[in-house]
Chains A and B, each alone.
Chain A
Amino acid sequence: MTVATAVVNADGLRRDAAAERRFFLSLALPSLVIVGIGAILPVVWILQQSLMTGQGDFTLANYTSLLTSGLTWKSLLVTLELSGATLLCCLLLGVPLAFLLASTSPKTASGLMVLILLPLWTSILVRTYGWLVLLRRDGLINDILVGSGFVSEPVPLVYNFAGTLIGMVHYMLPIFVLPTYAAMRDIDGNVVRAAASMGAGLWRCFRTVILPLASGGIVSGSIIVFVYTLGFFITPAILGGGRISPIAIRIDRTLSTLQDWGGAAALGILLLVIVAVLGAMSLGATRLVGPRRARG
């Protein structure tokens, strides 16, 4: 009798569970198809291109000429310098900004948030040309600097590394602040109060409590900024004025002026590998140093 009651309706319930799993799997299907066709296939095609001569024969020449060319290494260095400098600026500007947002009242914070997100709603092209107007020799900033007698000659702010960096930081800052702010906002206010009650001043609270507890958000923000900027094109193209050539610009030039599909494809694969390696490394680092969060 007891054995019989134990299996009553079990088959039907199991079928219900299976149907539920199928339903959720079918919800994910469209995005799986798009990722498959839209992301993986092109990469396979580029990989194929990079291993072919113009006549369609297999070759490794694209890679050997790439890796032996001084231009490639220079581009690579500039790319890493730009991403690194952008990340550093985002950390220096973004962490205090996120802290300010997290420590003001929710009302003020949402107002400031709109201001921070506003650039994200503007086209990157518009914003970049906006910076050009501000930064060039006869631009607003140089007008002010010279007009106030601060400098005698206009300062070169654009068509160089500094100009490119300004544009990139402006683009990436909100993207960095979002996860950092979210992590800081989730910190229990009483934990910070507890530290203060035990004698810790503001700086010590920040260093020993807030920073470690927000490290998850800061690390993910940093990964996004660094990886994202490795492939930046529009900003260095406009604000770099041809003098700054990160890998994305080299790819464009290899294609448009040299018509070298194989070389461009090899550069693309190189960039992809760098992004993948750096991404994997930073993910690994997050696991190692990530904060131990209390559950429940």
Chain B
Amino acid sequence: MTSPSIALEQVRKVYSDYVALDDVDLDVRSGEFLTLLGPSGSGKTTLLMAIAGFVRPDAGVIRIGAADVTRLPVNKRDIGIVFQNYALFPHMSVLGNVEYPLHVRKRPRAEARERATAALARVQLDSYATRDIAALSGGQRQRVALARAVVFEPQVLLMDEPLSALDKNLREQMQFEIRKLQQELGITTIYVTHDQREALTMSDRIAVMNAGRIEQLDAPQAIYRSPRSRFVADFMGESNIIPAALVQPLGTPHPQGATLIIRAENLGLEREAASGGGVAIEGRVTAQAFRGENWQLRLDIGSERDLLLSIPSGRSVNWADAQPGQSLTAYAANRHIHILP
């Protein structure tokens, strides 16, 4: 069985005081891992809940495969969902939770037990079957929720910030486990997060959302390297958005009035950083900080926002004792400069 595609056409949802979904079109390919990424209030969770059937859109069509599910109730949509706070049944054992969807589907007891045990084995929890939910750690609960969401072989899988309650190390480990499971099952998955790094790590494609619209839908590398709007550049973290007038071109000048986007890690303090053509930007140091894998340096370049530089900490640090107020020049090569369309 191949997992179906999901298609949204002109999906609209207006709450009394704001537009949560502003005529959203989206095509999720069969077997794809697609992430809805955006700040809170961008509409990503509303969109996921509309696909799940918990939010009734005001207008639009939602298709899973060829079937129009827009007016189908939740329990008829055949969707696996993993919720933010696990949403496990506290009055059932681990196995009871995972068997539940099979009982609902009236599968024979022996089959339900067998399939639930197999699903728990997939998430390395088969030895926890008889435990109480209360006796599990956060990571284990998340695994149970995952097993429960896929045990009945739903058509598609939806996840609403499933890792946000876990600490950083566990979160990174779970990102790989979820991705691995998703690829093994080949199940079409929509994943909601506000964490851009998580989105980059896990996704086939990312849809960046803002104010009820999809700002950009692209593969992770494309979103990261070639943001199509100021919002996307900003949201993907540590990007400098600079008017062309503030930079000195080393080679062909940029068009008048253009806006340049240069990521913090692509700026250097040596002339070689712009070898083969690029730009130089002069500024005064306002702050510096050691952040483990890199140094962060902030330069006042006469723009609204400071210029951010991120320099690997392994590199020579002759500038590291740069004092606030000191003048420095930052360089970037043309291949690292993205011009906003």
Closest residue to B132 on the A side, CB-wise? A292
How far is B92's CA from A195's CA once the two chains are assembled, in angstroms? Answer: 13
- The answer to whether B87 touches A188, judged by C-beta atoms less than 8 angstroms apart, is yes
Do B85 and A198 touch (CB < 8 A)? no
Instruction: Indicate if A293 sits at the interface (CB-CB under 8 A).
Output: yes
Contacts of B105 in A (CB 8 A): 199
List A contacts of B73 (CB < 8 A): 196
Of A190, A198, A201, A291, which is within 8 A of B100 by CB? A198
Known: A197-B81, A199-B101. A292 touches B75 (CB 8 A): no
Residues on A with beta carbons closer than 8 Å to the beta carbon of B66: none
Instruction: Determine if A200 is an interface residue (Cβ-Cβ < 8 Å).
Output: yes
- Whether, in the assembled complex, B134 has its beta carbon less than 8 Å from a beta carbon of chain A, the answer is yes
Question: B26 near A: Cβ within 8 Å?
Answer: no
Q: How far is the CA of A70 from the CA of B191 in the complex (A)?
A: 72
Of the candidates A193, A212, A292, A296, the one whose C-beta lies within 8 Å of that of B87 is A193
Q: Per-residue CB proximity of A268-296 to B under 8 Å, as 1/0?
A: 00000000000000000000000111111
Alpha-carbon distance between A199 and B151 when the two chains are bound, in angstroms: 13
Please indicate the chain A residues that have their CB under 8 angstroms from the CB of B132 in the complex.
Answer: 292, 294
Most B Cβ at <10 Å: residue of A190, A209, A212, A296: A190
Query: What chain A residues lie within 8 Å of B83 (beta carbons)?
Result: 190, 193-194
Q: Which of B84, B101, B133 contacts A198 (CB 8 A)?
A: B101
Shortest distance between the CB of B129 and any CB in chain A (Å) = 15
Is A200 in contact with B104, judged by CB distance below 8 angstroms?
yes
Which B residue sits closest to A193, measured CB to CB? B54
Separation in Å of the A54 CB from the closest CB of chain B? 57
Q: B90 contacts A293, CB within 8 Å?
A: yes
Beta-carbon contact of A200 and B90 below 8 Å: no
Known: A200-B104, A292-B134, A295-B134. A193 touches B74 (CB 8 A): yes
| Nearest CB in chain B to that of A189: its residue | B87
Complex interface residues of chain B between 148 and 165 (CB less than 8 A to chain A): 148, 152
Within the complex, which residue of A190, A197, A295 is in contact with B80, where a contact is CB–CB below 8 Å? A197
Residue A213 CB within 8 A of the other chain: yes
Residues on the A chain within 8 Å of B91, using CB: 212-213, 291-293
Contact A198 to B152, CB < 8 A, known contacts A188-B85, A193-B54: yes
Quick one: which of A197, A208, A213 contacts B79, CB cutoff 8 A? A197
- Do the beta carbons of B152 and A199 come within 8 Å of each other? yes
CA distance A124 to B227 in the complex (A): 71
- Does B297 have its Cβ within 8 Å of any Cβ on chain A? no
- B114 within 8 Å of A (CB atoms): no
Does the CB pair B85–A204 fall under 8 Å?
A: no
Task: Provide the B74-116 mask, 1 if CB < 8 A to any CB of A, else 0.
Answer: 1111111101110111110000000011001100000000000
In contact, B104 and A198 (Cβ under 8 angstroms):
yes
Chain A residues, CB < 8 A from B233: none
User: Is B8 part of the contact surface with A, judged by Cβ < 8 Å?
Assistant: no
B interface footprint on A64-107 (CB within 8 Å = 1, 0 otherwise):
00000000000000000000000000000000000000000000
Q: Smallest distance from the beta carbon of A162 to chain B beta carbons, Å? A: 37
Counting CB contacts under 8 A, is B146 at the interface?
Answer: no
| Pairwise interchain contact A200-B75, C-beta atoms closer than 8 A | yes
The reply on A191 being an interface residue by CB < 8 A is yes
CA distance A292 to B134 in the complex (A): 8
Tell me if B37 counts as interface (CB < 8 A to partner A): no
B28 close to chain A: CB less than 8 A: no
Asked, given contacts A188-B87, A199-B152, whether A294 binds B134 with beta carbons under 8 Å apart, the answer is: yes
Residues A204 and B133 in contact, CB atoms below 8 Å apart: no
User: How far is A54 from B132 in the complex, measured between Cα atoms in Å?
Assistant: 61
A residues near B279, Cβ cutoff 8 Å: none
Q: Which of B118-159 contact A (CB under 8 A)?
A: 132-134, 148, 152
Are the C-beta atoms of A198 and B148 separated by less than 8 Å? yes
**Any A CB within 8 A of the CB of B36:** no
Chain B residues whose C-beta falls within 8 Å of the C-beta of A296 in the assembled complex = 134
Given A199-B104, A213-B91, A294-B90, answer yes or no on A190-B133 (Cβ-Cβ < 8 Å).
no
9 additional A-B pairs beyond A194-B89, A291-B91, A292-B132, beta carbons within 8 Å, are: A190-B85, A193-B87, A194-B87, A197-B81, A208-B100, A213-B91, A294-B90, A294-B132, A295-B134
What are 5 A-B contacts defined by CB distance under 8 Å?
A188-B85, A193-B87, A198-B75, A293-B91, A294-B134
List the 7 closest A-B pairs by CB distance, nearest first: A198-B101, A294-B90, A190-B87, A194-B87, A197-B81, A294-B134, A190-B83
